[in-house]
């Protein structure tokens, strides 16, 4: 049976290409982090402490031409780490992170 995964964007900010002083980007980052912290708190209250997952080894492996399974390949290209909670079904988990695309 093929592995199935889903990656969802829960919140996204505007792009900041034309911004000079960086203030809007800092405010957007603070808002995204507050949203992430609230989600982490809610999930931690329900399922316990998350595992911090380092995604940089997956990114390095992909850059060296190794095959990296999804969704780790996609996630490692967006962020360096994520918070993850294992599901009661083996091999399933829920992860949260702030990433940057583009």
- 30-33 long-range Cβ contacts below 8 angstroms, 24+ apart: 32/98, 33/98
Q: Give the three-state DSSP class for 47.
A: helix
What is residue 1's predicted lDDT score, i.e. its pLDDT? Answer: 39
Local structure of residue 78 (DSSP, 8 states)? T
What's the pLDDT score for residue 6? 87
pLDDT at 57: 97
Kindly report the pTM of this predicted structure. 0.80
Q: What is the pLDDT along the chain (102 residues), one digit of tens a residue?
A: 346 888 888 888 877 777 678 888 888 889 999 999 999 999 999 999 999 999 999 999 999 999 999 999 999 999 999 999 998 888 889 999 988 776
pLDDT at 69: 93
Residues paired with residue 54 on neighbouring β-strands, in sequence order:
81
Buried b (16+ CB within 10 A) or exposed e, 39-65: eeeebeeeeeebeebebeebbeebeee
């Amino acid at each position: 049976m093929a592995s199935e995964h889903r990656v969802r964007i829960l919140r996204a900010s505007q792009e900041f290409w034309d911004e000079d002083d960086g203030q809007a980007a800092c405010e957007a980052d603070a808002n995204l982090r507050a949203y992430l912290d609230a989600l982490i708190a809610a999930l931690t209250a329900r399922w316990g402490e998350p595992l911090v997952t380092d995604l940089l080894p997956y990114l390095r492996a992909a850059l060296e031409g190794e095959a990296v399974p999804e969704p780790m390949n996609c996630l490692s290209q967006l962020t360096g780490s994520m918070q993850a909670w294992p599901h009661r079904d083996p091999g399933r988990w829920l992860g949260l992170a702030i990433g940057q695309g583009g």
